[in-house]
Amino acid sequence: MSQDFVSIVISQLNQVMSSASSMNGEVNSQRLFHGRGKIYKDLSFLTIDLYYPVIHVIYFAAPDEEWQQTFVTELTRFCQQYQLACVIIQRRYQPGSPSSIVWGKLPDQVLALSNGLKFQLQLERNQNVGFFLDMVPGHQWLEPVASGSSILNLFAYTCAFSVVAKRAGAKRIVNIDMSKNALQIGKANHQLNGLSLAGVEFMPYDIFRSLGKLTKKGPFDIVICDPPSYQKGSFIAGKDYARLARRFSQWVKPGGLLLVCLNAPNLNIDFIQAMMRDAAPSFEFVERLKNAATFPDLDHQRSLKLLIYRNSRDNSSS
pLDDT (mean) for 123-147: 95
Of residues 229, 239, 236, 247, the one with CA closest to residue 283: 247
Structure confidence at residue 179 (pLDDT): 95
Residue spans in the chain of domains classed CATH 3.30.750.80 = 2-120
- Is 74 a residue whose pLDDT tops 90? no
Structure confidence at residue 221 (pLDDT): 98
Structure confidence at residue 316 (pLDDT): 46
Query: pTM (2 decimals)?
Result: 0.93
Residue-level length of the chain: 318
* pLDDT tens column, 46-63: 999 999 999 999 999 999
Which range among 74-78, 90-94, 208-212, 262-266 shows the weakest confidence by mean pLDDT? Answer: 74-78
Separation of alpha carbons 182 and 307, rounded Å: 25
Residue pair 164/112 in contact by the 8 Å Cβ criterion: no
E strand spans, the chain: 30-34, 46-51, 54-59, 86-91, 99-104, 111-114, 117-120, 150-154, 172-176, 200-203, 220-225, 230-231, 235-236, 252-262, 283-288, 305-311
- Is 1 a residue whose pLDDT tops 70? no
Strands 283-288 and 305-311: antiparallel
pLDDT (mean) for 254-277: 96
Please give the class, per CATH, of domain 2-120.
alpha beta
Please give the class, per CATH, of domain 133-317.
alpha beta
Q: Which residues, at least 6 apart from 251, have a Cβ–Cβ distance to it below 8 Å?
A: 152, 214, 215, 218, 219, 220, 223
Residue spans in the chain of domains classed CATH 3.40.50.150 = 133-317
Would you place residue 24 in the very low, low, confident or very high pLDDT band (cuts 50, 70, 90)?
low
The one-letter amino acid code at 301 reads: Q
